[in-house]
Amino acid sequence: MTKKEEQYKMRKWQILDIALNHFIQFGYYGTSTRKIAEEAGISSGLMFHYFPNKLALYESLVEIGCEKLTIDSGEGESPLLFFERQVEWFLSVATQNNFASRMFVFMGLVAINAKDISERVAQMMREHDVETMSVPYIEKGQELGVIRQGDPLTLSVLFYSSIQGFAETLVARDNLKLPEKEWFLAILKNDNKE
């Protein structure tokens, strides 16, 4: 790797990193490409040498998010173990303030208004729909009697909503302790009371 290529990659990641913060804090429309460039210490014009336009920069982040946050299916895994792994992964990521954890919050916000930004973003989010991807695990768990009865998609959405909702609150609040993983799993678990 030449010196030029090295700096190219570094700059590109630096821009992505700063842009991620801005998109989280101000949203898509509230984010200014000029201010991103300013914070990166480069001219506004140079930004468009790395990314053709603002939307492409945003879409790059969504694309990275889709790659990084993909769940590995875990062949033949027990349903409850699968969801336990999901919670564990979130809890391990939530406390840090690195790229991954910010990306997590970002993707949650993207999910809310993906369709208002671009068709490409909407489609990426559709293809990377963790909620529907987890439905088979719910159904399997229901057959085994370890997951409560009810519409599988709704259960899945509620489970991930609780994680996502908590992650968002975590950004806004300081000094908030982390929940136990059982608290999330209680949403899904069959209580065997009847």
Partner DNA sequence: TCTAATATTAAGCAACTGCTCAACATTTGT
Partner DNA sequence: ACAAATGTTGAGCAGTTGCTTAATATTAGA
Cβ pair 120, 59 in contact under 8 A: yes
Shortest CB 56 distance to a second copy, Å: 18
Which residue from 18, 21, 35, 122 is in contact with DNA, where contact means CB under 7 A?
35
Instruction: Give the Cα separation of 118 and 122 in Å (integer).
Output: 6
Binding segment for a second copy (CB under 8 A), chosen from 4-12, 66-74, 87-95, 165-173, is 165-173
Which residue from 112, 143, 144, 145 is in contact with a second copy, where contact means CB under 8 A?
112
From the list DNA, a second copy, none, partner contacted by residue 34 (C-beta under 5 to 8 A by kind): DNA
Q: Between 33 and 78, whose beta carbon lies closer to DNA?
A: 33
Q: Give the CA dihedral 121, 162, 20, 135, nearest 10 degrees.
A: -40
Q: Between 1 and 172, whose beta carbon lies closer to DNA?
A: 1
Nearest to 87 by CA among 165, 159, 3: 159
Is residue 4 at the binding interface for a second copy, with CB under 8 A as the rule?
Answer: no
